[in-house]
Amino acid sequence: MTGDRLALLELVEKHQDGDFLCELAQFAAQRLMELEADAMCGAKRYERSEEQVNHRNGYRPRSWETRVGRLELKIPKLRQGGYHPAFLEPRRAAVRALVAVVQEACLKGVSTRKVDELVQALGMTGVSKSEVLRLCAELSGQARAFLERPLEGVWPYVWLEATYLKCRDAGRVVSKAVVVAVGVNASGRREVLGLAVGPAETEAFWMQFLRSLSARGLSAVRLVVSDCHQGLERAAAKVLGATWQRCRVHFMRNALAHVPRRQHQMVAAVIRTAFVQDSPEEARAQWREIADKLRGRFPRLAELMDGAEDDVLAFMSFPKEHWSQLASTKALERVNKEIKRRAHVVGIFPNEEAIVRLVGTLLEEQTDEWQVTRRYMGMETLSNVLNPEPAPALTKEKAAA
């Protein structure tokens, strides 16, 4: 006890103008560990006793984050068995909570500087940029596991949407194409199927992405819904053997680019009349009639409508109950908005892996949310798509007629 009192007096004299509380806490914790180790050994350090049951074996360093600062401790090691101070046990939960806070903040797009301020506000010492990146890197494995999981069952409908995010590549800041695929399974629920990052939306890019989805189990696709991207229609036909639906919302934007602004409302209302028809035949007839009426004033718009008729009205070949969901890429609307929001906070991603980590984790959260909400489509109507009823056979009388 006399030695402890002298050590405390020396500590007070040494840190009269310094960080006394931090040094005092470190001294008390170190002394407590020494006493516990002595009790477990049955003898003090450098002493021998008949009641001794174990021996010291050096120390191992350990940092301990406290409200008074970071304490650098030396935990005694024993030759037989292990020793862990009891007062450090709660640190495990605290560290997990701190890691969860840092990771969640990064997924929300918070910068490393703001993460450091957040940690300090919690009463802990700050974390460096490298430590934040190390903690976030643990999310990469989780995101990759989700994005590379096997796709079981059948997926009659698939939506594809691309957005562009800024990323550093070989010392330059470039725009990377980020493609998200969402599908509806036989039970009528949506799931994120995959994610791809590439330099541009070329046919080769789309082929590689769709082949990766097929290799993971994507099958029985009847319709692919997307904007008009170069090479996508051919890639969907070659890899998936599916019909392509051109998003009518994106088409309307392209169409109105050929019309003076003051005429936008009128032209858009006229074109939309084709989408409210009761049958594909009526819709196609209305579409051609509209194109002919607009041909005199807006020839480029009429030419666009002539070439896009089959693609924009493809959704009408499927059950009417699905038309509102199949006509556009609105199944991905909320997801894309959230990706853009978080990417705007980040600004420029350091590499493609950072994009996959952030967007992939976001997509996993969205898929989990979809599993506990109402079905996107009815199972009965989907069964008609997957198992269409065969056309009735002609009788001899009908064949003769």
Chain centroid, CA 261 distance in Å: 37
Please state, in angstroms and rounded to a whole number, the distance separating the CA atoms of residues 297 and 301: 9
Cβ pair 33, 73 in contact under 8 A:
yes
pLDDT at residue 118, rounded to an integer: 60
Under the banding of pLDDT at 50, 70 and 90, the label for residue 42 is confident
More confident residue, 231 or 197: 197
Residue 271 banded pLDDT, cuts 50, 70, 90: very high
Mean pLDDT of all residues belonging to the chain: 82
Is residue 28 within 8 Å of 77, Cβ to Cβ?
A: no
Greater confidence (385 vs 194) lies with 194
Whole-number pLDDT of residue 76: 87
Q: Residues 116-129: what's their mean pLDDT?
A: 57
What's at 278, amino acid-wise?
A: D
Nearest to 115 by CA among 96, 130, 94, 95: 130
Least confident piece of the model among 33-37, 80-84, 153-157, 244-248: 80-84
User: In three state form, how does the secondary structure of 30-64 look?
Assistant: HHHHHHHHHHHHCCCCCCCCCCCCCCEEEEEEEEE
Ranking 15-29, 95-109, 185-199, 382-396 by mean pLDDT, the lowest is 95-109
- If one counts every other C-beta atom within 10 angstroms of the C-beta of residue 168, the result is 15
Q: How far apart are CA 44 and CA 269, in angstroms?
A: 91
Domains of the chain: which residue ranges? Answer: 2-88, 104-145, 146-382
Nearest to 349 by CA among 208, 197, 229, 205: 197
Q: pTM, whole model, 2 decimals?
A: 0.68
Tens digit of pLDDT for each residue in 368-377? 989 888 899 9
